[in-house]
Chain A
Amino acid sequence: MNSITPRAATVEKIVGRAVPRPNARRLVEGRGTYVDDVELPRMVHVAYLRSPHAHARILRIDAAAALDMPGVVAIVDGRQLAEICAPFVGALSHLAGMRSPPQHAMAVDRACWQGEAVVAVVAQTRAQAEDAMQAVEVTWEVLPAVTRMDTALDPGTPVIHPELGDNLCFHREVDSGGVDDAFAAADVVVEETYDFGRHTGVTLEPRSILADYNPAERRLTVHHSHQAPHMMGDLYARLMGILEADVRVLCKDVGGSFGIKVHAYADDFATVALSVLLGRPVKFVADRLESFVTDIHAREHRVKARLALTRDGRFLAFDIADLTGIGPYSMYPRTSAVEGNQVINLCGGPYDHPHYRATLDVVFQNKVQTSQYRGVGHPIACAVTEGIVDLAAATLGMDPLELRRRNLMADDSFPRKGASGILLESLSHQRCLARLEEMVDFPALRREQAELRAKGIHRGIGIAVLIELTNPGAAFYGTGGARIASQDGATVRLDPTGIVHCASGVGEQGQGTETIFAQIVADEVGVPMDRVRVLTGDTAATPYGGGTWASRGAGIGGEAVLQASRQLRANLLEFAAVHLGLPVERLRIAGGSVIDTAEGVALMDLAELGSLAHFRPDLLPAGFQPELVVTRHYAQRDYPFIFTNGIQVSHVEVDVETGVVTLLKHWVVEDCGRVLNPLLVDEQIRGAVMQGLGGVLFEECLYDENGVMRNGSMADYLVPMAGEMPDIEVAHVETPTRSSELGAKGAGEAGTAGAPAAVMNAINDALRPFAVRLTAQPITPEKILHALHPHLAG
Chain B
Amino acid sequence: MKAPPFAYRRVDSVAAAAALLREHGDEARLIAGGQTLLATLGMRLSEPSLLIDIRGITEMQGIAVADGHLRIGALARHVDVERSALVARHLPLLSLAAPHIAHAAIRNRGTFGGSIAFADPAAEWPACTVAADGALTLSDGTRSRTVAATDFFLGLYQTALRPDELITAVQFPLPGPQRRFAFTELARRHGDYATVGVALAGDVTDGRLDNPRIVYFGIGGTPVRARAAEAALAGGRAEPAALDRAVAELGGELAPAGDLYAAAATKLHLAGVLLRRGIQSLMAEDVQS
Interface residues of A (CB under 8 A from B): 125-127, 130-131, 134, 287, 289, 657-658, 660, 698, 702, 710-711, 713, 715-716, 718, 720-721, 723-724, 780-782, 785-786, 789, 792, 794
Contact = CB atoms under 8 A, between A and B. Distances in A.
Given A658-B186, A702-B260, A723-B191, A131 B269 contact: no
Given A780-B261, A792-B266, A287 B189 contact: no
Interface stretch (B2-10, B17-25, B59-67): B2-10
Contacts of A781: 186, 188, 195, 261-262
B262 A716 contact: no
Contact of B270 (A658, A702, A794): A658
B265 A721 contact: no
B43 A289 contact: yes
A785 B2 contact: no
Interface string B258-289: 00111101100110010000000000000000
A724 B273 contact: no
B190 A724 contact: yes
A782 B261 contact: yes
B260 A711 contact: yes
Among B5, B192, B262, B269, max chain A CB count under 10 A is at: B269
A660 B270 CA distance: 11
19 contacts: A126-B2, A130-B1, A289-B1, A657-B273, A658-B270, A658-B273, A698-B188, A710-B260, A715-B39, A715-B193, A718-B188, A721-B189, A721-B191, A782-B266, A785-B266, A792-B263, A792-B265, A792-B266, A794-B265
Contact of A131 (B4, B186, B191, B273): B4
Contacts of B263: 782, 792, 794
A789 B2 contact: no
Nearest to B195: A781
B189 A660 contact: no
Contact of A127 (B3, B39, B265): B3
B5 A724 contact: no
Given A710-B260, A782-B261, A698 B189 contact: yes
Contacts of A723: 103, 189-191
B83 interface: no
B89 interface: no
Nearest 3 CB-CB pairings of A with B: A723-B190, A127-B2, A657-B273
B245 interface: no
A785 B269 contact: yes
B145 interface: no
A553 to B, nearest CB: 31
Given A658-B273, A724-B189, A785-B266, A130 B261 contact: no
Contacts of A782: 261-263, 266
B87 to A, nearest CB: 23
Contacts of A713: 43
Contacts of B103: 723
A708 B277 CA distance: 38
Nearest to B2: A127
Contacts of A711: 260
Contacts, number: 65
Contacts of A721: 189-191
Contacts of B193: 715
Interface of B: 1-5, 39, 43-44, 103, 186, 188-193, 195, 260-263, 265-266, 269-270, 273
Nearest to A131: B4
Contacts of A287: 1
A720 B5 contact: no
B93 to A, nearest CB: 21
A214 to B, nearest CB: 28
Contacts of B269: 785, 789, 792
Contacts of B5: 127, 131
Nearest to B188: A718
A720 B261 contact: no
A725 to B, nearest CB: 10
A716 B1 CA distance: 17
A792 B269 CA distance: 8
Contacts of B44: 130, 134
Among A125, A134, A658, max chain B CB count under 10 A is at: A658
Contacts of B261: 718, 780-782
A131 B5 CA distance: 9
B132 to A, nearest CB: 25
Contacts of A792: 263, 265-266, 269
Nearest to A716: B260
Contact of A720 (B189, B195, B270): B189
Nearest to A722: B190
A220 to B, nearest CB: 27
B14 to A, nearest CB: 31
A698 B190 CA distance: 12
A52 to B, nearest CB: 14
A780 B263 CA distance: 12
B16 to A, nearest CB: 28
A543 to B, nearest CB: 39
A702 B259 CA distance: 12
A241 to B, nearest CB: 34
B2 A130 contact: yes
Among B3, B5, B270, max chain A CB count under 10 A is at: B270
A720 B5 CA distance: 33
B4 A660 contact: no
Nearest to B262: A782
Contacts of B4: 127, 130-131
A134 B192 CA distance: 31
A721 B189 CA distance: 8
Given A782-B261, A789-B269, A794-B265, 9 more contacts: A125-B2, A658-B186, A711-B260, A718-B189, A781-B188, A785-B266, A785-B269, A792-B263, A792-B266
A708 to B, nearest CB: 13
A465 B270 CA distance: 35
A660 B186 contact: yes
Contacts of A660: 186
A723 B103 CA distance: 10
A636 B168 CA distance: 69
A716 B195 CA distance: 12
A781 B261 CA distance: 9
Nearest to A127: B2
A721 B105 CA distance: 14
